[in-house]
Structure 1
Amino acid sequence: MEFNIKKASLKELDTTAELFNLYRIFYRQSDDLEKCKQFIKERLDNDQSNIFVVYADGKPVGFVQLYKLYHYIKLQKQWLLSDLFVHPDYRGHGLSVALIDRAKQWCDETGACGLMLETEKTNYIGNKLYPRCGFEYDGNHNYYYWWK
């Protein structure tokens, strides 16, 4: 399958938001395209995230979204691989791996020390994919959340 990956801008807002909406639905969130569109627009307008979209058969079929963080041990910038999604009709063709590889390339381009991510324990696809892509499981830390 031929594909290409492009860094998203506001020109791709509609298609990026559609993919983001599908991603959220995958994680059992309600369908809300307009809210997703506003969310992505704010991230891009304020330079708060970097999104790369993969195109196959001439249409957008997946994306990866990265947020800037800073690593306290390495004393360097790192990227949080926050969101990774490939449309179910296009899975199994290496597009997720290609998006991860593009995120790794972004680390090189921006002088970042690496990527970090978290995923649900029930994300069986992701939990098989990430180690294959060179990610190491960190069983030494607990992640906690505080929600307002």
Structure 2
Amino acid sequence: MKIIKAEVQHITAIAPLFDQYRVFYGQPSDLSGAKAFIRDRVQMKESTIFIAYDDEQPVGFMQLYPLFTSIGMQRKYVLNDLFVIPSFRTQGVGKALMQQAIQFAKEERANQISLQTSIENHPAKALYERMGMQMDLEFDNYILRLV
């Protein structure tokens, strides 16, 4: 397995994975919308995406969005998307992508990586905890849905 940082030429490889990720979270399939969304993020440098390949087949991806912490006066990242195709789960792909995220964030001198996942996504939660992530017990998170 190899993991690479996505560039414009990788958009076509990421789009089907991103579409499957959205379907996993209950959204309707929209491959052209997925491709446009990923293209915009990559071209505008609004996120950093890593793709995991088994031989030449893309088998997973992870997307990090940059933010800043005012209190810490440093960069931080939100790991917004992590997806591994079902036939490659439990083979270390998710762990390798997480390790890449941690390495990248350290290289960028970020002070933290945060994420959210579905309450029911027990396999992902177990992975995050094995990687040293902890539930935030210091701050409550609120959300205002606008659409």
**TM-score normalised by the chain length of structure 1:** 0.94
% identical aligned pairs: 38
Per the alignment, residue 37 of structure 1 pairs with 35
Per the alignment, residue 147 of structure 1 pairs with 146
Per the alignment, residue 21 of structure 2 pairs with 23
Residue identity matched to 2:10: E
Cα distance between partner residues in 1 of 2:39 and 2:56: 23
Post-superposition offset of 1:98 = 0.5
Helix, strand or coil: the match of 2:107? helix
Helix, strand or coil: the match of 2:143? coil
Per the alignment, residue 85 of structure 1 pairs with 83
Give per-residue Cα distances to partners, 1:68-99, cap 9 Å, x unaligned.
01113211000100000000000011110110
Measured at CA, do residues 120 and 145 of structure 1 come closer, stay the same or move farther in structure 2, by a change above 3 Å?
A: farther
Residue identity matched to 1:111: R
Cα distance between partner residues in 1 of 2:100 and 2:126: 19
Query: Could you tell me which of 119, 122, 134 is aligned with 1:121?
Result: 119
Per the alignment, residue 97 of structure 1 pairs with 95
Cα distance between partner residues in 2 of 1:145 and 1:81: 20
Which runs of 5 or more residues in structure 2 are unaligned?
none
Per the alignment, residue 60 of structure 2 pairs with 62
In angstroms, what is the RMSD of aligned CA positions?
1.1
80-89 or 69-78, larger mean C-alpha shift: 69-78
Helix, strand or coil: the match of 1:69? strand
Give per-residue Cα distances to partners, 1:30-69, cap 9 Å, x unaligned.
0100000000011011110000000013210000000001
Helix, strand or coil: the match of 2:22? helix
Cα distance between partner residues in 2 of 1:72 and 1:145: 21
Cα distance between partner residues in 2 of 1:14 and 1:142: 34
136-145 or 119-128, larger mean C-alpha shift: 136-145
Which runs of 5 or more residues in structure 1 are unaligned?
none
**TM-score normalised by the chain length of structure 2:** 0.95
